[in-house]
Structure 1
């Protein structure tokens, strides 16, 4: 076989140095076969370093930077910084890109220093022609946007949820809390967390409940359809408009304006179907199918969010 090395940024100083040392070794990214380009993803270790640096150096005003008035942190999970994660999503509207579509990105959220509410999230794009581009979305400081730890705490403090978990535990079952998914839908954040129940060691966990958090609302139901209907069925349009959050993209400029509105139950059922298929793929470690089902679920949720 053969090994080919491709250049994404021809102006990178290290790349220029290697080109002089090894002429002809590095090829432009445009020469990479299209089927191979579809599998290129932004490196997680590089993004991890960049996000930690950006948490401080996003401040552009010298006085604010000197006083560290707007310092950010990466949210912690089990006393460790949350790792950036890959996901398939459609970036929120910016007013610049008209034809938006789902794309493979690497994502990490930020919270203000010594606080747990959401301040921003940073995304690295992996799909052509935007491979390697970073974009950050800011949440308005005048509104409280719950961060991952706050949503986790709200779930722990909810009496109905804690009573159900305690009841299961008393019966000898093990309650497993799945990954907390933060799903940006247009200009709002929807948190989804599945609850699994394992009757004994070695047994396959069974999906028993789905928790959905949106704004100040929290609901647990036997499935995603019921959880979504519990949130949006109770909320009036005016209430949802008040709790919807506008995110401001720093690069490129623009504003997000579309509010999240309740949709018909048929869409909720379709979202539930894709969610269940994604969970099945996750148990089978079929990451390709898992990503596709999440992508489809997101598309349905966006339809649900349309006015």
Structure 2
């Protein structure tokens, strides 16, 4: 079922199964209509129900309209954030819900054709954990104890306990004994989509900037502080945000879906390490910290940005696009570990100053001692790893180390 009745932008309430047809999507010169046949909704088949909800929603047309039928239902609280917050206000929720496609019909009784589901990470928190530094947060204890699944069509909400060892969620499950489900009850088709929660990862990554130091004397003197590197995005400098990628970690036999965040030393721009949150199989929830040798220079995001913007050929091409009512926009710079080396990838967009709609025009890749600008990622990678088979026009430039900041 591809239709989304519950989502992040569905902030209004609607009435379904009325005499007015529901627009589904345009098709050529005609429109395709649909009638909601899901299980959710409050029936408005009596005057008293219409009166109660007219008062609650401050919509008195519900009493006067002639478009209602005996099958008319009211769907409200369709914003998934508001919906789960109203159900379980004692939990904190991740700021980035994600939509997945899954066939759960084999794992549930009856026939269920819906396959769009929202997954939201829920957290238990406290500000009373002994001897814990809250940093800039309002709490000093956090666990990703709950996974929330919302049916995008029917609005059904399920709360699964992801961390049964958490004492706070144990207490809540005793208060509401039939409210939470075990993670083992989650259909496998949904469970394979679970990913490392980004809000929790952000907190852990920020704490690691100083707490990676294990020597008490070094920690006391703050001799080895790290920082989040900066990148150029849309012409402005901003901190590099964690990003999801598919890659093969060292000593692993296959690729996996991870959340990655790079680090640089305080006061310097070279790369010192990266933190990865793992999401696949038995490795789910584990963190991996990789540190580079301090005596070896590994380019950081700021140095790569400088190499790109200071290269005379590439900067000249970018300047040509920054004319006649358009501008070149540098996208997010990705640092991608590949075996014993790093691959840096940055998309380049063009957008009009008026009615801007960014269009991908080039991909810039930095690998070892080369800077490549090509029309797409495949051509850039071919220029690096299969230069003899690359027939498309690309720009290949050597890295000028003397220009590094």
2:296 aligned with 1:143: yes
Q: In structure 2, how many angstroms separate the alpha carbons of the residues matched to 1:22 and 1:189?
A: 49
Kindly report the root-mean-square deviation, in angstroms, between the aligned alpha carbons of the 2 structures.
2.7
* Maintained 8 Å contact 1:10/1:16: yes
2:343 aligned with 1:193: no
> Aligned residue for 1:38?
192
2:164 aligned with 1:7: no
2:329 aligned with 1:176: yes
* Maintained 8 Å contact 1:145/1:215: no
Instruction: Provide closer, same or farther for how the CA distance between residues 198 and 52 of structure 1 changes in structure 2, counting only shifts above 3 A.
Output: closer
For residue 172 of structure 2, the aligned residue among 18, 22, 38 is: 18
Instruction: Provide closer, same or farther for how the CA distance between residues 18 and 167 of structure 1 changes in structure 2, counting only shifts above 3 A.
Output: same
2:239 aligned with 1:81: yes
2:311 aligned with 1:158: yes
1:71 deviates by 1.2
SS across alignment from 2:200:
helix
Q: In structure 1, how many angstroms separate the alpha carbons of the residues matched to 2:254 and 2:279?
A: 13
Instruction: Provide closer, same or farther for how the CA distance between residues 223 and 125 of structure 1 changes in structure 2, counting only shifts above 3 A.
Output: closer
Instruction: Provide closer, same or farther for how the CA distance between residues 263 and 4 of structure 1 changes in structure 2, counting only shifts above 3 A.
Output: same
> Aligned residue for 1:110?
263
SS across alignment from 1:104:
strand
Query: Given the two structures, how large is their TM-score scaled by the length of structure 2?
Result: 0.52
Aligned residues: 234
Q: In structure 2, how many angstroms separate the alpha carbons of the residues matched to 1:159 and 1:65?
A: 43
Q: In structure 2, how many angstroms separate the alpha carbons of the residues matched to 1:199 and 1:48?
A: 33
Q: Which has the higher contact order (CA 8 A, sep 6+)?
A: 1
Gaps of 5+ in 2: 1-154, 395-405
Q: In structure 2, how many angstroms separate the alpha carbons of the residues matched to 1:177 and 1:150?
A: 15
* Maintained 8 Å contact 1:146/1:215: no
Deviations 1:131-159 (A, max 9, x none): 21111111111111111111111111111
1:196 deviates by 2.8
> Aligned residue for 1:212?
365
SS across alignment from 1:184:
strand
Q: In structure 2, how many angstroms separate the alpha carbons of the residues matched to 1:226 and 1:41?
A: 30
Deviations 1:72-130 (A, max 9, x none): 1111344543222222222x213xx4xx3222222111111122211111111222222
* Maintained 8 Å contact 1:225/1:265: no
Q: In structure 1, how many angstroms separate the alpha carbons of the residues matched to 2:356 and 2:230?
A: 30
Instruction: Provide closer, same or farther for how the CA distance between residues 157 and 13 of structure 1 changes in structure 2, counting only shifts above 3 A.
Output: same
2:181 aligned with 1:27: yes
Instruction: Provide closer, same or farther for how the CA distance between residues 63 and 24 of structure 1 changes in structure 2, counting only shifts above 3 A.
Output: farther
Gaps of 5+ in 1: 233-261, 273-307
Q: Which has the higher strand share?
A: 2
Q: Which has the higher helix share?
A: 1
Q: In structure 1, how many angstroms separate the alpha carbons of the residues matched to 2:186 and 2:159?
A: 9
SS across alignment from 1:129:
helix
1:203 deviates by 6.5
> Aligned residue for 1:53?
207
Q: In structure 1, how many angstroms separate the alpha carbons of the residues matched to 2:225 and 2:353?
A: 45
Q: In structure 2, how many angstroms separate the alpha carbons of the residues matched to 1:2 and 1:171?
A: 51
> Aligned residue for 2:272?
119
Deviates more, 1:161-170 or 1:197-206: 197-206
Instruction: Provide closer, same or farther for how the CA distance between residues 23 and 172 of structure 1 changes in structure 2, counting only shifts above 3 A.
Output: closer
> Aligned residue for 1:279?
none
SS across alignment from 2:332:
coil
Q: In structure 1, how many angstroms separate the alpha carbons of the residues matched to 2:205 and 2:326?
A: 39
